[in-house]
Each structure stands twice: as C-alpha cells, then as structure tokens.
Amino acid sequence: MSKRALKKYLASLPKPALEEQVMDLYERFAPVKKYYDFAFNPKEDKLIQEAKSRISNEYFPVKRRRPRARRSVAQKYIRQFRTLGMAPFLIADLMLFNLEIAQTFSREKKVPEAFYRSMLNSFTEATQYLVQEALLSDFKDRILSIYEEISIQEWPLKDGFNRAIDILDLD
C-alpha cells in the first residue's frame, strides 16, 4: 500500500475506528509500543544509562567469565535511538562511550584484527555523525583523546583512523 492510499484510508475512518487500530498496533508490535512509550515519556537519560551499562557488560561482564566484545550491541542501541529521534548530543555521547570502553578493553586484553576493523567503523561513523549534527565543538576533546589513545596503543589500520580524523578539520 502506498503512503497516499494509506492517508486516504485513514482519512475515511471514523475517529473511534482509528483509535482502535492504533491501540491494536500498540499491543501487537513491540516497535510501535517502544515508539509511543518514548514519544510520551522519553526518559532519555535512563535509556542512555541502560545502553551504556549493556555496552560495558559486553567488554567487562559481571555475570559471565568471558567478554563478548560485540560492536553490534552498541550499534543496535545507536540505530534504535536515532529511529526514536533521541537528542543527537546523547547519541554522540553513546558513540564515543562505546569507543572509550573498547579502548579500555583493548588495553587489558589481546584482541583480534577484526576488533580493530570494527572499531575503525565505529570511529568513522562517530566522526561523520559529529560533523553532520554540528556537535564537533562539544566533543572535540573526547574525539582527540580517543585518537591519541589509538596512537598510544598502536592500533593497526592507522591510515583509516587518520582519514576519519581528517574530515573533522580541527584547526
């Protein structure tokens, strides 16, 4: 069904039928419930803290012995928060937190090459997001600190990290 056809159909429904359909969607589909829960009661700080806790638990688990160190956990939260329309400042903070916790993990553990490739992707996405949302001035110190730590730890793929930092034009 096209958007136009949907608009026409919704316009033809009486208000009680429309309310009934929205309630049915809310009860049946978790993403719709999550959207309305966020729209009417955002609690952004609570959601960010929960996400940070889960990301931290990926690298430094509390209940299990071995860390999983999956980038996908952080990416899932970032994608979800962007879809919900959360404040860009909070999303950027979460992106940088993910990189910082990964650096702490790599300082303590030996990690495979794939880990560095995935962190390069995260770093590139974070720098692009900061430029896109005009948040560079707010996060300049943190991004530079992350970049310095990459140099200190001598992460491979240095050229990729250099290209990502070059788009920032930090002069």
- For residue 31, is it within any domain? no
Q: pLDDT digits over 87-130, tens only?
A: 999 999 999 999 999 999 999 888 899 999 999 999 999 999 99
Structure tokens at 69: 């160190």
Domain that holds residue 155: 42-166
Q: pLDDT digits over 120-168, tens only?
A: 999 999 999 999 999 999 999 999 999 999 999 999 998 999 999 988 7
- For residue 29, is it within any domain? no
Contact predicate 168/131, CB 8 Å: yes
Number of alpha carbons in the 13 Å side-chain half-sphere of residue 7:
3
- For residue 36, is it within any domain? no
Claim: this prediction has a pTM higher than 0.75: yes
Question: Cα–Cα distance between 62 and 168 in angstroms, integer?
Answer: 36
Question: What are the C-alpha distances in Å from 52 to residues 30, 77, 136, 167?
Answer: 22, 9, 21, 27
